[in-house]
């Protein structure tokens, strides 16, 4: 009899429908409604979020592919991947003729046998179009908004800040829901991902390029960013910087310094995915940032030990509800209530 399997990655676990009359239990949860949750055992981190996320992303991706393919060849009816933080999501567009790794990963997951994915706050919503099967892109913003209202006593005196124009839509959504003001940082201190020098020049840069004598193409002018500017009033206010991913924190630290100079007396940084790589904890601890709030889509217990400014918001509730609804064939619309295109 074909079975239904649900394979979350990064807390890489699988759930399948047990045969009727089965009373077996799992170490992770009691299978009271006909399904069990299993954790892959590549590292101890796999048991954390449901439990947690494997530390090496490529190892976890490969393990997910192998598990999905094993289930596919075992005649599973559905294989559903739960991937709270979708890897390579920033590489979702072609830059300098580089590869679109996110599209490649989507194709690999489909080929391995996945039939559905549950994820959270994709870096670009258009990534859903890379997949040939349904993708439920859940939102962490309700949990972060609740944190602001419950854990920041004077949040009514706050202003929501986008650290670059690229993040303005997300910041506007937060500001409108909290009925707060909005500020945007713009200028030469910012480095948008479109302009990042990532070394992927194809073909390589040539100093003395030869041009056909009869061909005169118009020259694209080089970009020159204006001086650093904060659009909006932050003086005497709490500044709350919002984004989807915190990885290298230099840009957040620079934004905090600018906001401090403009009169903000307290600075929070909030994001869904706290990768916090390299020496991010040390930089945060030494910066003007008062608190960094992220969800547990990515494990960061080690970083929290290094920097007490890092706080965690648990989002396992919405993931477990998504799993329950899919298993029972219920509508997912409830999980997307009041969600707009800009969220």
d(CA 54, CA 43): 6
pLDDT digits (tens, 9 = 90+) for 2-46: 555 565 554 434 443 333 333 333 334 443 445 555 565 555 545
Q: Give whole-number Cα distances, 188 to 58, 66, 163, 192, 243, in Å.
A: 34, 45, 12, 10, 19
The answer to whether residue 59 scores a pLDDT higher than 50 is yes
d(CA 69, CA 114): 8
| Averaged pLDDT score across all residues of the chain | 82
d(CA 270, CA 78): 35
Lowest-pLDDT choice from 36-40, 138-142, 167-171, 310-314? 36-40
* Higher per-residue pLDDT: 184 or 217: 184
pLDDT digits (tens, 9 = 90+) for 263-303: 999 999 999 999 998 899 999 999 999 999 999 999 999 99
3-state class (DSSP) for residue 309: coil
The pLDDT of residue 7 is: 59
Which structure tokens are listed for 288?
């003007």
CB half-sphere exposure, 123, CA atoms < 13 A: 16
pLDDT bracket for residue 51 (50, 70, 90): very low
Which structure tokens are listed for 150?
């419950």
Which structure tokens are listed for 136?
């439920």
Mean pLDDT of the region 302-306: 93
Mean pLDDT of the region 92-101: 80
Q: Determine what percent of the chain is predicted with pLDDT higher than 70.
A: 77
CB half-sphere exposure, 298, CA atoms < 13 A: 24
The answer to whether residue 190 scores a pLDDT higher than 80 is no
Q: Give whole-number Cα distances, 308 to 49, 103, 204, 289, 341, in Å.
A: 20, 37, 44, 12, 35
31: alpha, beta or left, given left = phi > 0 and alpha = psi -120 to 50?
beta
d(CA 71, CA 174): 41
Spatial CA neighbour of 277 closest among 56, 124, 105 = 56
Q: Give whole-number Cα distances, 81 to 84, 86, 114, 242, in Å.
A: 9, 11, 7, 27
Q: Which residues pair with 17 in a beta bridge?
A: 35
* Higher per-residue pLDDT: 169 or 43: 169
Q: What are phi and psi of 92, to 5 degrees?
A: -110, 5
What secondary structure does DSSP assign to 219-271, as a single string?
PPPPP-PPSPEEES--TTSEEEEEEEEESS-HHHHHHHHHHHHTT-SEEEEEE
The pLDDT of residue 219 is: 77
pLDDT digits (tens, 9 = 90+) for 107-152: 999 999 999 999 999 998 889 999 999 999 999 999 999 999 999 9
d(CA 234, CA 301): 32
Mean pLDDT of the region 221-245: 90
Predicted TM-score (pTM) of this structure: 0.77
Q: Long-range contacts of range 66-70, CB-CB < 8 Å, 24 or more positions apart?
A: 66/112, 67/7, 67/12, 67/14, 67/40, 68/7, 68/109, 68/112, 68/113, 68/114, 69/112, 69/113
Q: How many helices (H) and strands (E) does the chain have?
A: 8, 13
The pLDDT of residue 321 is: 96
pLDDT digits (tens, 9 = 90+) for 255-265: 999 999 999 99
The pLDDT of residue 33 is: 47
């Amino acid at each position: 009899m074909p079975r239904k399997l649900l394979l979350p990655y990064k807390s890489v676990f699988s759930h399948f429908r047990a045969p009727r009359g089965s009373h077996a239990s799992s170490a992770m949860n009691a299978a009271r409604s006909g399904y069990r949750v299993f954790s892959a055992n590549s590292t101890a981190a796999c048991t954390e979020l449901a439990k947690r996320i494997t530390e090496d992303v490529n190892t976890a991706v490969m393990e997910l592919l192998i598990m999905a393919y094993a289930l596919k060849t075992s005649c599973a009816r559905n294989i559903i991947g739960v991937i709270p933080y979708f890897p390579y999501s920033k590489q979702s567009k072609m830059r300098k003729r580089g590869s679109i790794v996110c599209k490649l990963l989507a194709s690999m997951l489909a080929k391995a046998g996945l039939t559905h994915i549950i994820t959270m706050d994709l870096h670009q919503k258009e990534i859903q179009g890379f997949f040939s099967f349904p993708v439920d892109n859940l939102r962490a913003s309700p949990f972060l908004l609740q944190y602001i209202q419950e854990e920041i006593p004077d949040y009514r005196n706050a202003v929501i800040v986008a650290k670059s124009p690229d993040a303005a839509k997300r910041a506007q959504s937060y500001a409108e829901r909290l009925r707060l003001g909005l500020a945007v940082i713009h200028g030469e201190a910012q480095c948008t991902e479109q302009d990042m020098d990532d070394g992927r020049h194809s073909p390589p840069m040539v100093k003395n390029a030869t041009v056909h004598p009869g061909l005169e193409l118009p020259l694209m002018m080089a970009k020159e960013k204006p001086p650093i500017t904060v659009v909006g009033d932050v003086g005497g206010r709490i500044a709350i910087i919002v984004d989807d991913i915190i990885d290298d924190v230099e840009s957040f630290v620079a934004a905090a310094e600018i906001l401090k100079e403009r009169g903000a007396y307290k600075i929070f940084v909030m994001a869904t995915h706290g990768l916090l790589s390299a020496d991010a904890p040390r930089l945060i601890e030494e910066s003007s940032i008062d608190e960094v709030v992220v969800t547990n889509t990515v494990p960061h217990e080690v970083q929290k030990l290094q920097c007490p400014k890092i706080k965690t918001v648990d989002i396992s509730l919405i993931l477990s509800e998504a799993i329950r609804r899919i298993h029972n064939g219920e509508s997912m619309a409830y999980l997307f209530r009041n969600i707009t295109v800009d969220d």
